[in-house]
Amino acid sequence: MQLQISVGETFFARQYRMTLRLVLIIGLACLGTLFTGCVGPKPAPTDHPLPTPLKPLRYAIVEGDGAASLQELIQAWAAKHGIAAASINPAEADLLILQGTAWPSLASTGQLVPIPASFMDENSPAQWGQLLPAYQSSLPNWGTQKYAVPLTASAFGLVWRKDLFDAAAMSTAKLATYEDVADAALNYTAATKKPAIAALPTEPGKVFQQFAQLAACYDRAPSGGGKAAADGVDYVRRGLSFLIQNETGVVRLDAPAFGEAFRWFARTAPARAQTGDALTQLEAGTAAIAILSLADIARLPKDESGFVDGRYGIGPLPGTRKYFNAKGDAMPVPTPNYVPYTGGCGFVGVVTKSAANQADCWALLAHLASPATQETLLSDPRVGMLPLRKSVKSLDSRTFRRYRLDDARATTLANAIQQQLGLGTLNPALAPKTPAQAEVVRLIGEQVVAAGSGKIAAGEAQRNAIAAWQSQADRTPPDTWKDWRRKAAGQD
């Protein structure tokens, strides 16, 4: 009897049915995971917190050359360190970046925090000990405390239209002193019947800067200043006094140097344009000579190759043919007498007492003041910066490549800025520090403009400035004025 069922067929059929069943089970399981969103077991709950919000830092930067560059540096630093840096109203800021000596009014009313000792330590990123002497030990002080961190200082140069002077058959080979500039300007105007010198700025601070740059050269020699007859003390050298006599608190606006500066502005009035921006006037040919900041020099028109047009000559700030010693005697000099006026413009950083995050504020200022950041600012044409550090022993044309100057003019500009550093000057003229600084600048600036536009004589402008400032001082309680005098001189 034959078997009717094949063993082979029965085995494979059974295997087929088992495989099909397994596939159906797996398929249903996968379909379930698709709808439930589960791939494997659910993760266990975690105790790790979500990332904390970024730490806030509120800052304010006043307008001025380099403000945009500082803004970019602040935001880049904040992003790197997990800080939300917000630019807000100065009245609410933790960190303020101000122009020149605008900060003593805040220090005198107890609104600022002194620079901590750790900031000035040799291991600090700020490298405080590398700053030039005036920026390290004089300008940042209010009393015996330091408050202001120097960040930038503005550099300047003398700029003229070579083609306009050539067309008037006049040489510009000799523009080494303010007297040279006055002579050239008056001769140009006499020959062309056109203004030679650009109009004075509309901002009081810029007018005062020009006045102080000139008066500083008349006020002293770079190596001293002469002994006072009464007690043999060289006040000019010891106190670095300029507009205010630090030891006595006496305003020096009646000193011969300031009278001579008023006379220069009055003398050049017939050759000066009455209104307009200096850079625009030079470009249009409505002025032939001007003192420009380095940032403005970078904005001069370019030729087809992208370099500053060859019509523009660039040189150092002028000196003077004489200076006055401490006795008031005029001292002629064989070479131009140049004394830098230091600290009048540029940015400083201060931290407010109300800041809740003072450590972050100082860390940011240390970064901005660090040698590496300073090198970045020095090469930025938007800043137009004078070096602040001892490490800058020399400058050459490579420093100013981004200013788009040919090698000859870049070298001349480097030498001009080297002069402004005043590395060999014992007694640079320091910008005055007074809580009433804005008012002082305005009062003096108004009289400089009046003399420089020919509206009044130099002597009258000087007397008006003295009277206006005295009137302002008379409204200040005597004890307050004495306190300001001591604090400005670095005393408590």
pLDDT, tens only, 462-474? 999 999 988 888 8
Task: Cite the beta strand spans of 269-326 per DSSP E.
Answer: 289-293, 312-315, 320-324
Amino acid 1: pLDDT: 34
Nearby residues of 242 by Cβ (< 8 Å), 6 or more positions away? 212, 216, 219, 252, 341, 429, 430, 431, 432
pLDDT higher than threshold 60 for residue 366? yes
Picking from 313, 101, 330, 290, the residue whose alpha carbon sits closest to that of residue 210 is 290
Full-model pTM: 0.85
**Do 458 and 451 meet the contact criterion of CB atoms below 8 Å apart?**
yes
Provide CB contacts within 8 A for 489, sequence distance 6+: 239, 246, 247
CA atoms within 13 Å, Cβ hemisphere of 26: 6
pLDDT, position 491: 84
DSSP run (H or E) holding 336: strand 330-337
- Whole-number mean pLDDT of the chain? 86
Buried residues in 432-471 as b, exposed as e (16+ CB within 10 A): bbbbbbebbbbbbbbbbbbbbbeebebeebbbbbbebbee
Name the CATH topology of 156-342+427-488.
Answer: D-Maltodextrin-Binding Protein; domain 2 (3.40.190)
Using the CB atoms, write b or e for 65-96: b if 16+ within 10 Å.
Answer: bbbebbeebbeebbeeeebebeeeebeebbbb
Strand 149-150 and strand 347-351: the pairing is: antiparallel
Rg (CA), the chain: 34
Q: pLDDT tens digits, residue range 68-120?
A: 999 999 999 999 999 999 999 999 999 999 998 899 999 999 999 999 999 99
Angle CA 263–322–155, to nearest 5: 80
Give the residue-averaged pLDDT of 403-429.
88
Residue 224 confidence class, pLDDT cut points 50, 70, 90: low
CATH fold for the domain made of 55-153+344-391: D-Maltodextrin-Binding Protein; domain 2 (3.40.190)
55-153+344-391 and 156-342+427-488 agree in CATH topology: yes
Scanning the structure block, which residue is given the tokens 């201060």?
350
Confidence band, pLDDT 50/70/90 cuts, at residue 143 = very high
pLDDT in tens, 148-198: 999 999 999 999 999 999 999 999 889 999 999 999 999 999 999 999 999
Amino acid at 252: R
Tokens of 489: 């001189």
H or E element in which residue 141 lies: strand 141-142
Q: In the prediction, which pLDDT does 333 show?
A: 96
Domain locations along the chain: 55-153+344-391, 156-342+427-488
> What would the pLDDT profile of 238-287 be if each residue is shown by its tens digit?
546 899 887 777 889 999 999 999 999 999 999 999 999 999 999 999 99
* pLDDT tens for each residue of 369-393: 999 999 899 889 999 999 999 877 5
pLDDT for 425 equals: 84
pLDDT-wise least confident of 218-222, 448-452, 462-466: 218-222
